[in-house]
Amino acid sequence: MLEAEELYRFYRSGEEETRALRGISLKVAPGEVVAISGPSGSGKSTLLSCVAGLDDPDGGIVRIAGQRISHRPEADKARLRARLVGVLFQSGNLIEHLTLAQNVELAQRVGGRRDPAHRAELLDRLGLSARAGAWPSRLSGGEAARAGLAVALANRPSLLVADEPTGELDRRSEGPVLDLIRDQARSHTAVVIASHSPAVRRMADRVVQLRDGRVA
């Protein structure tokens, strides 16, 4: 599960200071899907970076599965990310010079695992078995999104963080991806999705609306 308490994050560029997060707390239980929505610039991406352990908040604390991930040395954070967190971006989830299957295998090995069975099952569930040997540049938009999900789920994470995962998909491709995310949640994963898609909001157990770095 995910516990984020009182997160603050400021950016400074020259004279200007942007307050991206102004005291956000968020708890997501295993099996729960939380959608984060809000206009652009409301702090969605910053919040996701902080809870995924990709960025440190200036104030506040983030725990995943009971382990603090914020404010630790980068090496520790990397280890925790590999074991506990799966991240899915809108695009660019795959290493271009590796095939789809190799991308998933690479993610597993980075997490210190060898789980060919899980890998095959993932690809099968996501309808990608036939494309396992394809290069990322040859995948269609929907396939690329599903492949990104396969990589994110490669290590059975406790927390799945997705930033606009269906932004480039139409509704018909969006459906299967969201179903798969939903399925994953049932296997005791906490899911946080930032999206402005109505379908995501409908699928979520809870919607958190952000405005100007605060929960609206």
Closest listed residue to residue 88, CA positions, set 22, 10, 168:
168
59 binds another protein (CB under 8 A): no
Which lies closer to another protein via its Cβ, residue 15 or residue 74? 74
Nearer to another protein, 17 or 74 (CB): 74
90 or 129, CB closer to another protein?
90
Spatial separation of the C-alpha atoms in residues 194 and 47, rounded to whole Å: 9
Report the site for another protein in 158-187 (rule: CB under 8 A).
164, 167-174
The verdict on 71 binding another protein (CB under 8 A) reads no
Sole binder of another protein in the list 28, 87, 100, 203 (CB under 8 A): 87
What is the greatest pairwise CA distance in the chain? 53
| Nearer CB in complex with another protein: 138/188 | 138
In the bound state with another protein, the residue whose beta carbon lies nearer, of 62 and 186, is: 62
| C-alpha–C-alpha distance, residues 112 and 44, integer Å | 30
For the bound state, the minimum distance from the C-beta of residue 83 to another protein, rounded and expressed in Å, comes to 7
Q: What is the closest distance, in whole angstroms, from the C-beta atom of residue 61 to another protein in the complex?
A: 18
Report CA-CA distances (Å) from 171 to 4, 136, 151, 207. Answer: 31, 22, 22, 19
117 near another protein, judged by CB under 8 A: no
Asked if 13 is part of the footprint of another protein (rule: CB under 8 A), the reply reads no
**By the rule CB under 8 A, 104 interacts with another protein:** no
The reply to whether 199 sits near another protein by the rule CB under 8 A is no
Please give the residue ranges that form the binding site for another protein (CB under 8 A). Answer: 39-40, 49, 52, 54-55, 74-75, 78-83, 85, 87, 90, 92-99, 102, 105-107, 109-111, 114, 135, 137, 140-142, 151, 164, 167-174, 196
